[in-house]
Amino acid sequence: MKSIADQLPPEIARQIHPDRRKNEAAYWAVRDQLLDPYRGQWIGFADGVVVASGSSPVAVFHAAEASGRHPFIICVGREEEPCRIRRVAWPYDASYPGEALPLISVEFRQASGSPGVVLDRVIPDTGADASVLPWVDCQLLHLDPSLGVQGLISGVAGGSAATLAFRIWARLDGQDYPCRLQADFVGGERILGRDVLNRLEILFRGPVGEVVVNP
């Protein structure tokens, strides 16, 4: 199995923490033994053991990263399925080509309770498995590639691309929410996915062009 890290842009791949590669290779060495107890579950794998597991990717991601062991994070038995990022159009931003689009501002934080960076024109996308920011925004957040977790993302048209996922927080309506942020090295859209949206109540008021968080 080719390392996901090797599918990243070379200048980014060189910065991957060596333990990430080690844990990815170690996972594949014992993967068949993990199928029975963990098939269909997300796990964090480090130093030869499962350090976190469960059905929620964002919950497992945050728990595994909290171990500080640079785990490899994957869904057992579905390793080649990318994190899907889909587009859902709503009648809001009239300047958007075709159907208009809902947009919100979100403060992304490296740590809960610490100041972050407020980004506008973020698309609340219920069709996206996780949140996505272009790499230039990740650089604004001072995200270190050596702390990223290698993975795959896919658009609505199919195919997949390598990504780095980061354990960060999204702040909306005065509260911090755990976020499983995917870095996009090709596209330029900002997307808030179900990793965050499923923890909120969101009201899309299409006729008046308004998105209300926790109405």
pLDDT at 100: 58
What backbone phi and psi angles, to 5 degrees, belong to 99? -70, 140
At 78-136, the pLDDT tens digits run 998 888 775 433 334 555 555 557 788 899 999 999 999 999 999 999 889 999 999 99
Between 4 and 17, the more confident residue is 17
Query: Most distant CA pair in the chain: distance in Å?
Result: 55
3-state secondary structure the chain: CCCHHHHCCHHHHCCCCHHHHHHHHHHHHHHHHHHHHHCCCEEEEECCEEEEEECCHHHHHHHHHCCCCCCEEEECCCCCCCEECCCCCCCCCCCCCCCCCCCEEEEEECCCCCCCEEEEEEEECCCCCCEEEEHHHHHHCCCCHHHCEEEEEEECCEEEEEEEEEEEEEEECCEEEEEEEEEECCCCCEEECHHHHCCCCEEEEHHHCEEEECC
- Paired tokens of 2: 């080719």
Domains of the chain, CATH where assigned: 4-80 (no CATH), 84-213 (2.40.70.10)
pLDDT tens-place string over residues 67-81: 999 999 999 999 988
Q: To the nearest whole number, what is the mean pLDDT of the chain?
A: 88
Q: What digits encode the pLDDT tens for the residues 181-209?
A: 999 998 889 999 999 999 988 888 777 77
Percent of the chain with pLDDT over 70: 91
Instruction: Say what the pTM is.
Output: 0.78
- CB atoms inside a 10 Å sphere around CB 3: 17
